Amino acid sequence: MSTARLPWIIKYRPKHVDEVVNQDKAKQALLEWLKSWDQGAPGKKSVLLHGPPGCGKTSLVEAVARTLGYELFEMNASDSRRKEDIERLAKVASQTSGLRARRKVILLDEVDGLDPRADLGGVEAILEVIRNTRNPIVMTANNPYREHLKPLRDVSEVIAMDRLRETDVVTVLKRICQAEKLQCDQEALKEIAKRSEGDLRSAINDLEAAAAFDGRVTLETVKAISTYRNRVYAPWEALRKIFSSKYVFQAREAITSTDLTPDEMKTWINEHIPSWYDNPEEAWRAYEALSRADQYFGRIVKTQNWDLLSYALDMMGPGVAFARKTYKGKFVAFKMPERIKLLAETRKSREYREALAEHLAKRLLTSKAAIKSDVIPYLRIIFTSNPKYAAGIAKAYGLTEELVTWLAGPRAKEVLSYFKKPARKSKST
């Protein structure tokens, strides 16, 4: 079969891990994890591989699979909403690799493409497959921090890939030029690489287009045919752009350059103001700006006046960026916000408190507010200092095990052990 008409992005996919440029850390992690399957299924049976578009996620998985002699079963994650697809997937995943059959690795591409509303069952279905799989599963995502992906993050080994550097992109382009016996100017390749902003896929496409245009690749042809793309950035890249922006428009653009919702963006900035600003005055000014943005959001929700969004974004991006007194270029690793991890916990805790207040207000003839401020604090003391007595109270008020656990905190086990034994009425002894 002739390969002449294959698009270059397919034709020049790496066949072996050694051909994958850069990404050493991700390469290493993925290889090790796959090899660990030789001793049976490891603790985490899936990997969530994430990185910006065109950094080579799918290519890496293909190359690694081929290098280790795995057969690749590939599926786009958004197909998983269809029942027959998910059944097919589950079937493949549950097969054992017998002596004759080749070992399989399952690739679920673009799990962040799952729409949290439309594909409600999608994440659930994938989780179920992971739970039962006998074969390694690799998922890819541009942005793994969407809230609805949390369950997948939790069960998976998370491996990050970086945006490629310009020199990496140039290296690959040069390799292709040689293979195609194409005359390529160094300047032209650099320009393509620069415009690609680390997206190797778009760079190869541009190179192919430029070559088709003229038979040789010069700076002029490149400038003529390729344009800067509207890019989607990973959260940490957007943060870097905001904090180190020199002009208002850069900070403003960066705010909307991710696929985070404004609310999620707010959380990222909230987390990282102190990571960037170590001067207390700058930190406070930045928080004050974010707080203003937050107030606009509050008003938008209350009044449904979406015109205000623009002001909220002004305060969130430029407001936070220009809280600085002096400009400092520096490198900060922007980690995933604690708060996103803790969100569910905070919510749960609040719900328990509310449920308990509701429950006790009727018995104690007072408001929920009074229960929260005057009763629950003392209950907690009883529950954390006298498990047996606490169990008696829990019984008298018919508290659920969940509420008992919440109230007793570190001593939940002790309270519950009494709680589960039969109680005797207090007057009967």
Partner 1 sequence: MFYLSELLWAEKYRPKSLDEVINQKEIVERLRKFVSEKNVPHMLFAGPPGTGKTTVAHALAHDLYGENYRQYMLELNASDERKIEVIRTKVKEFARSKIAGEVPFKIVLLDEADNMTADAQQALRRLMELYSANTRFILTANYPSKIIEPIQSRCAVFRFTALKKEDVVSRLNYICENEKVKCHVKALETIYDVSEGDMRRAINILQAAAAVGEVTEETVFKVVGLAHPKEVREMLQLALSGSFVEARKKLRDLMIAYGLSGLDIVKQIHREIFSTEIKLPEELKVMIADYIGEIQFRLVEGADDEIQLNAFLARLALVGRKIKV
Q: Which of residues 199-238 bind partner 1 (CB under 8 A)?
A: none
What are the E-state strand segments in 99-245? 104-109, 137-141, 156-160, 183-184, 216-217
296: Cα separation from own chain's centroid: 26
Q: Does 397 bind partner 1 (CB under 8 A)?
A: yes
**Pair of tokens at residue 74:** 């590939």
Contact 252, 242 (CB under 8 A): no
Q: Does 294 bind partner 1 (CB under 8 A)?
A: yes
Stretch binding partner 1 (CB under 8 A), from 15-23, 204-212, 227-235, 371-379: 371-379
Q: How far is the CB of 244 from partner 1 (least distance, A)?
A: 20
Residues 6+ apart with CB under 8 A from 200: 21, 54, 55, 56, 164, 168, 169, 172
Q: Which of residues 399-428 bind partner 1 (CB under 8 A)?
A: 406, 409, 418, 421-426
Q: Does 367 bind partner 1 (CB under 8 A)?
A: yes
CB atoms within 10 A of CB 326: 6
Q: Does 378 bind partner 1 (CB under 8 A)?
A: yes
Q: How far is the CB of 204 from partner 1 (least distance, A)?
A: 42
Q: Does 388 bind partner 1 (CB under 8 A)?
A: yes
Position among 273, 315, 404, 416 found at the interface with partner 1 (CB under 8 A): 273
Position among 28, 305, 385, 400 found at the interface with partner 1 (CB under 8 A): 385
Binding mask 147-186 for partner 1 (x = CB under 8 A): ----------------------------------------
Which helix (H) or strand (E) segment holds residue 366: the answer is none
Cα separation, 330 vs 321, in Å, equals: 14
Q: Does 272 bind partner 1 (CB under 8 A)?
A: no
Q: How far is the CB of 383 from partner 1 (least distance, A)?
A: 9
Contact 265, 316 (CB under 8 A): yes
Q: How many residues bind partner 1 (CB under 8 A)?
A: 71
Q: Does 12 bind partner 1 (CB under 8 A)?
A: no
CA distance readout (Å), 200 to 52, 54, 170, 175: 10, 5, 9, 13
Position among 97, 361, 411, 414 found at the interface with partner 1 (CB under 8 A): 361
Q: Does 308 bind partner 1 (CB under 8 A)?
A: no
Q: Does 118 bind partner 1 (CB under 8 A)?
A: no
Q: Which residues pair with 139 in a beta bridge?
A: 48, 108
DSSP 315: I
Q: Does 302 bind partner 1 (CB under 8 A)?
A: yes
Q: Is the Cβ of residue 176 or residue 315 nearer to partner 1 in the bound state?
A: 315
Place of tokens 């569910």: 344
Type of residue at 31? L
Q: Which of residues 329-348 bind partner 1 (CB under 8 A)?
A: 338-339, 342, 345-346
Contact 152, 127 (CB under 8 A): yes
Q: Does 274 bind partner 1 (CB under 8 A)?
A: yes
Place of tokens 């001593």: 411
